[in-house]
Amino acid sequence: MLLEELDTILAPKQPVKILPPAMQQHRSSLPKHMTENDLDDLMSDLNPVTQRLKSVHKSSSTSELNTMDSSLSSVKCIAPHLGTSEVKEGQCTFIENRRCNHIRCTKCDFRVVSFDNQEWDESVNYLYFRNNYPETLSKKRNSKRGSSAYCCQCSWISVDEFTRVNTGSFKWICGGHNKS
């Protein structure tokens, strides 16, 4: 069914209005003053993928379709890991251990930043990160070779070795890596 929808979208005939099945059933019950453009605006608010498909249809460019496909798909680490500068950054797989460089916190919804050869001062606390993330975090970092300091706006840790993120203490997940 999805391939048929894609064929109708990319067909060079007349423009096709894309509505999910639920909206198609209720289309006749919409008020008369709602135009097709109003429906398109509502749908673009609800589903950005539909909007991107429409823009590809208008340009009919294969390269744009490939770009759209790769931007919509990303791969995630099997489990996010932290590590020092000696460990390569990237996606952690069963085959290769890497420290994840796209970690995101689900508690505060901020990206996790890291600082190589640094550790957090013992005096840091929750309010320090809430008030200083990410601009002025250098005030309470100490230089320590072979260590890395990680933080988001609500949590922080210093590590000296390759470490799996403890999901009980941290709400950090892999935000996804581009397929290569």
Tell me, what's the pLDDT at 91? Answer: 87
Rounded CA-CA distance 124/65 in Å is 47
What are the angstrom distances between the C-alpha of 28 and each of 16, 32, 34, 93? 17, 9, 11, 50
Tell me, what's the pLDDT at 115? Answer: 94
Query: What are 37-79's pLDDT values in tens digits?
Result: 555 655 555 554 545 555 544 444 444 444 444 445 688 988 8
Tokens 């609800």, located at residue: 46
Tell me, what's the pLDDT at 60? Answer: 45
**Domain locations along the chain:** 2-72, 75-178
Tell me, what's the pLDDT at 41? Answer: 55
- Name the percent of the chain lying above pLDDT 70: 59
Strands 81-82 and 163-164: antiparallel
Query: What are 125-179's pLDDT values in tens digits?
Result: 999 999 999 888 988 999 999 999 999 999 999 999 998 987 678 899 999 988 7
pTM for this entry: 0.59
